[in-house]
Structure 1
Amino acid sequence: MGNNLVLAQDKTVTQKAQKDSLKPNDIDPLTPAKAAFYSAVLPGLGQAYNKKYWKIPIVYGAIGTSLYFYLDSNTKYNEVRDAYKRRLEGYNDDKFNYLDTNRLITAQKFYQRNRDLSTLFVLGFYALNIIDANVDAALKQFNIDENLSLRPSLSADYVTLRANVGLTLNYNF
């Protein structure tokens, strides 16, 4: 019975040593790719994979706002375009009867430009979502232990009696 206890303790010590030999920050080269893929499939999912939940409302707010302005500008563009087409056919019973034909053309260009810019913003925020998830996952694996540090330093210059401010890079082997 005593031997069994010793063997059980040795096994526990060996398992603990194996756990300690594995660092919690082991580098997984696929983590950034997974986060980027998840964000590409569903915006915000890569941020959830990285456990940065506070970024998800920002992602949906940016993409949603841009999408709202796209839809609004597209609706108004179609209304103005339809009114312009009816004017060319000789009708003057649209809701823009207070505008002349030149103003309708100007309004079409305005709403078309806003729609196109909103499209670029939607695509830009979507891409930024993917890039953010990728970079955040890569930086999560970055080595920030005490052996490598960058610290501000303040030293006195005894000749001029002034303080010198600088940065020191310390690397311990």
Structure 2
Amino acid sequence: MLCYSQQTPDSTVVATPEDLNIKTNTTVREAIDPLAPSKAAFYSAILPGLGQAYNKKYWKIPIVYAALGTGIYFYIDNNNELNRYRDAFKRRLAGFKDDEFYGNGPTPLISNDGLIRAQRQFRRNKDISLLVTVGLYALNIIDANVDAHLLQYNVDENLSLRPHIRYNQLESASDLGLTLNFKF
């Protein structure tokens, strides 16, 4: 006959430090700087693109400058065209017939009403391009702020959401699911 026995440990004995299992490779999390989003927004307000550089998103800087440069270009172009038509209209009101829109014949190429309509159109386009440029400037600031917030978002294995597919043998079909893991 074979017998095996086990000795139960005494619960009154205190464990020595050598017996304790201590985890040495714990994850150290970076400290969250609550002022980082406001710094990024402030930097972008001072100089467009500086908030993106603060967030280390350097690829966004050319996009910011291209967007703002395009808006400024259209503002200046519409302002120049508005000034051309306004100057021609003022010269006609003063009695001159030598503006660039009059032409060589006895009748003008563009009438006075046409000059007035052109002035309205270019003034409207100038105002719209100014609003778009200001909107893009504000969008630059908002992007830097939101991006700095998202950089502080905790993404680690202690909180995970994963899709999974399991084969159900009873029904001979695949079951789709979503697993949420939260570890303390």
Please confirm whether the aligned pair reaches a TM-score higher than 0.5, indicating the same fold. Answer: yes
1:115 alignment partner, one of 120, 123, 126 = 126
Residue in structure 1 matched with residue 117 of structure 2 by the alignment: 106
Instruction: Please give the root-mean-square deviation of Cα atoms over the aligned residues, in Å.
Output: 1.9
Mapped partners of 2:171, 2:90: distance in 1: 80
**Unmatched segments (≥5 aa) in structure 2:** 1-23, 103-108
Q: Which structure 2 residues correspond to residues 16-95 of structure 1 after superposition, within 5 A?
A: 23=29, 25-95=30-100
SS in 2 for 1:146: coil
Query: Structure 1 residue 106: deviation in Å?
Result: 1.2
Mapped partners of 1:172, 1:22: distance in 2: 15
1:133 alignment partner, one of 137, 144, 148 = 144
Amino acid at match of 1:108: Q
Mapped partners of 1:140, 1:74: distance in 2: 41
Amino acid at match of 1:131: I
Does 1:154 pair with 2:171? no
Mapped partners of 2:27, 2:174: distance in 1: 44
Amino acid at match of 1:136: D
SS in 1 for 2:101: coil
Amino acid at match of 2:183: N
Residue 149 to residue 21, structure 1, CA distance change in 2 (3 Å): closer
Query: Structure 1 residue 160: deviation in Å?
Result: 5.2
Partner deviation per Cα, 1:63-116 (whole Å, 9 max, x = no partner): 001000000000111111111111122222111112111111111111111101
Amino acid at match of 2:48: P
Partner deviation per Cα, 1:3-60 (whole Å, 9 max, x = no partner): xxxxxxxxxxxxxx9xx8853x311100000000000000000001111000000000
Normalised to the residue count of structure 2, the TM-score between the two structures is: 0.77
Mapped partners of 1:101, 1:143: distance in 2: 65
**Unmatched segments (≥5 aa) in structure 1:** 1-16
Identity of aligned residues (%): 58
Normalised to the residue count of structure 1, the TM-score between the two structures is: 0.82
Query: Structure 1 residue 156: deviation in Å?
Result: 3.7
Amino acid at match of 1:82: D
Residue 152 to residue 92, structure 1, CA distance change in 2 (3 Å): farther
- Larger helix share, 1 or 2: 1
Residue 66 to residue 85, structure 1, CA distance change in 2 (3 Å): same
